[in-house]
Protein backbone atom coordinates (compact mmCIF):
# COMPACT_ATOMS: atom_id res chain seq x y z
CA UNK A 1 0.00 0.00 0.00
CA UNK A 2 1.25 3.49 -0.86
CA UNK A 3 2.05 6.00 1.83
CA UNK A 4 -0.49 8.75 2.54
CA UNK A 5 1.01 12.18 1.64
CA UNK A 6 1.86 14.39 4.63
CA UNK A 7 2.02 17.79 2.89
CA UNK A 8 0.54 17.23 -0.57
CA UNK A 9 1.02 19.96 -3.22
CA UNK A 10 -2.33 21.57 -4.01
CA UNK A 11 -1.97 21.19 -7.80
CA UNK A 12 -1.36 17.45 -7.46
CA UNK A 13 -4.36 17.10 -5.14
CA UNK A 14 -6.61 18.98 -7.60
CA UNK A 15 -5.35 16.81 -10.51
CA UNK A 16 -6.06 13.69 -8.46
CA UNK A 17 -9.64 14.76 -7.77
CA UNK A 18 -10.06 15.55 -11.47
CA UNK A 19 -8.96 11.98 -12.25
CA UNK A 20 -11.65 10.82 -9.81
CA UNK A 21 -14.36 12.72 -11.72
CA UNK A 22 -14.46 16.11 -9.99
CA UNK A 23 -14.37 19.44 -11.85
CA UNK A 24 -13.28 22.82 -10.47
CA UNK A 25 -16.36 25.00 -9.96
CA UNK A 26 -14.76 28.02 -8.23
CA UNK A 27 -11.33 29.05 -7.09
CA UNK A 28 -10.53 31.77 -4.56
CA UNK A 29 -9.49 31.39 -0.93
CA UNK A 30 -10.96 27.90 -1.27
CA UNK A 31 -11.28 25.56 -4.23
CA UNK A 32 -14.80 24.24 -4.81
CA UNK A 33 -15.11 21.10 -6.90
CA UNK A 34 -18.19 19.22 -8.04
CA UNK A 35 -18.80 15.68 -9.30
CA UNK A 36 -21.85 14.76 -11.37
CA UNK A 37 -22.98 11.27 -10.33
CA UNK A 38 -24.67 8.79 -12.70
CA UNK A 39 -27.93 8.99 -10.72
CA UNK A 40 -28.15 12.75 -11.35
CA UNK A 41 -26.97 13.82 -7.91
CA UNK A 42 -23.89 15.95 -7.26
CA UNK A 43 -21.06 15.48 -4.80
CA UNK A 44 -19.49 18.77 -3.63
CA UNK A 45 -15.97 19.14 -2.31
CA UNK A 46 -14.27 22.19 -0.79
CA UNK A 47 -10.60 22.53 0.12
CA UNK A 48 -8.38 25.43 1.18
CA UNK A 49 -6.32 27.03 -1.58
CA UNK A 50 -2.96 26.70 0.20
CA UNK A 51 0.35 25.67 -1.42
CA UNK A 52 0.16 22.32 0.40
CA UNK A 53 -2.64 20.34 2.02
CA UNK A 54 -1.91 18.73 5.39
CA UNK A 55 -2.58 15.06 5.96
CA UNK A 56 -5.43 15.62 8.42
CA UNK A 57 -7.14 18.14 6.14
CA UNK A 58 -6.86 15.78 3.19
CA UNK A 59 -8.46 12.95 5.16
CA UNK A 60 -11.37 15.24 6.07
CA UNK A 61 -11.77 16.21 2.40
CA UNK A 62 -11.85 12.53 1.41
CA UNK A 63 -14.60 11.87 3.95
CA UNK A 64 -16.58 14.86 2.66
CA UNK A 65 -16.22 13.64 -0.94
CA UNK A 66 -17.04 10.02 -0.02
CA UNK A 67 -13.76 8.73 -1.48
CA UNK A 68 -11.82 5.91 0.15
CA UNK A 69 -8.19 6.34 1.08
CA UNK A 70 -7.17 3.60 -1.37
CA UNK A 71 -9.12 5.15 -4.27
CA UNK A 72 -7.38 8.46 -3.64
CA UNK A 73 -3.91 6.93 -3.30
CA UNK A 74 -4.30 4.92 -6.52
CA UNK A 75 -5.10 8.11 -8.45
CA UNK A 76 -2.54 10.23 -6.56
CA UNK A 77 0.41 7.98 -7.40
CA UNK A 78 -0.52 7.42 -11.09
pLDDT digits (tens, 9 = 90+) for 15-67: 999 999 999 999 999 999 999 999 999 999 999 999 999 999 999 999 999 99
Distance CA 30, CA 48 (A): 4
- The topology under which CATH files domain 7-76 is Metal Transport, Frataxin; Chain A (3.30.920)
The model's pTM: 0.91
pLDDT for the residue 54: 95
Distance CA 37, CA 78 (A): 23
CA 55 to each of CA 26, 35, 37: distance values in angstroms, whole numbers, following the listed order: 23, 22, 26
CB-neighbour burial class of residue 4 (10 A; exposed 0-12, middle 13-18, buried 19+): middle
End-to-end CA distance of the chain: 13
Q: Is the pLDDT of residue 1 over 70?
A: no
Amino acid sequence: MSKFPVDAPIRKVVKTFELLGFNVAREGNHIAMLKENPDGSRTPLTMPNHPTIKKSTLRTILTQARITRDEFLDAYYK
